[in-house]
Structures are given as C-alpha cells and as structure tokens.
C-alpha cells in the first residue's frame, strides 16, 4: 500500500485559503477602482482595496514566519525534479509578490500624500514624502506586479488542477482540509 503524502498543517491551510480569497478580492477591487470615474464609489473601492492590502501584507509576513517555524511537508515523492524546482520557483515568486504588491500600494499612497486609516481604525504612516514622479513609477510597478501575480496564479491553480484531475496525485489534496482528512 502506497504511503499517503503528508498534509499541510491547519494553520498553513487556513492562511493559504484566506490569502487566496483576499488576493482575488484585491485584484477585483483594484480593477474596479481604477476603471471607475471619480466618485464616492471609487474612493470606497480604493478604501477597501487598501485596507485589505494591508491585511494581506500582515498575513503574508505571518505566513512566512509560520512557514519558517513549521516548514511545509516534503514534496510528494512522485514529483519529478523539474516539477519540484518549478513549484519552488512559483511559490517563491508568489511570496515575493504577496509582499511587493501591498508594499508598492502603501508607497503609492505615501507618495500621493493621501491620508488613510486602515479599516478606519488607525492611520497608515507615510513611508516616503510627496512625490508625483515616484508615485507614477510605483503605479507602474504595481500594475506590472498585478499582471505577474495574475499569471503566476493561473499557473499555480492550473498546475494544482492538473495534478488533481489529470495526474491524479495528492498534490492538491494536501492543501484541502476536508479532502485531506478523508482520503
């Protein structure tokens, strides 16, 4: 009987799926906000985008700390070397973007000298002084980051679905709590 691949721990699973929902929400809110004419709705969309972005930055740091304290289970032994290297590269880039995107957004807000309170609770300090040129450059970084993140997410989800439905291996089930318990 083949040994079952070890699951991710419950905290890693919870952070993964919470952040997946947050990132998709951020992408939708950001897309809607930039395509909205100047209006109260545009400000509301950006308010939620920024607040959720700071939450995502906080969770990304916590997730990296948790990953350091509780390393993930070893890769499924059925994976080929190139698959392990590709997965490690995609995960590394995803973590980088989970930090870069909220930080670049925070810097954009700072360079615009726009006052902001995260979820209305506390002010977000400015990291840089007002600078329109810097703001424009950071907006470009944020936009490029968005497209890179979108591409990496498609690759990540596509690979997980390929492993589950075509290859029929346990790669995806290791991150799904209900399926992981009942396999």
Round to whole Å and give the CA distance between 140 and 115: 21
Is residue 181 very low, low, confident or very high in pLDDT (cuts 50, 70, 90)? very low
pLDDT tens column, 121-155: 999 999 999 999 999 999 999 999 999 999 999 99
Any idea what the Cα angle at residue 19 is, between residues 15 and 90, rounded to 5°?
Answer: 95
DSSP summary character for residue 8: P
Q: Give pTM, 2 decimals.
A: 0.90
């Amino acid at each position: 009987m083949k040994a079952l691949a070890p699951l991710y721990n419950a905290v890693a699973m919870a952070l993964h799926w919470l952040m997946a929902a947050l990132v998709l929400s951020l992408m939708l809110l950001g897309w809607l906000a930039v395509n909205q004419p100047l209006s109260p709705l545009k400000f509301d969309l950006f308010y939620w985008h920024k607040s959720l972005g700071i939450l995502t930055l906080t969770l990304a740091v916590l997730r990296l700390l948790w990953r350091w304290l509780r390393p993930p289970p070893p890769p499924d032994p059925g994976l080929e070397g190139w698959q392990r290297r590709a997965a490690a590269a995609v995960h590394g880039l995803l973590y980088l973007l989970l930090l870069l995107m909220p930080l670049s957004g925070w810097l954009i807000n700072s360079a615009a000298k726009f006052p902001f309170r995260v979820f209305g609770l506390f002010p977000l300090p400015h990291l840089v002084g007002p600078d329109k040129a810097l703001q424009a450059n950071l907006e470009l970084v944020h936009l490029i980051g968005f497209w890179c993140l979108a591409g990496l997410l498609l690759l990540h989800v596509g690979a997980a679905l390929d492993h589950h439905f075509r290859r029929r291996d346990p790669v995806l089930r290791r991150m799904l709590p209900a399926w992981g318990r009942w396999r």
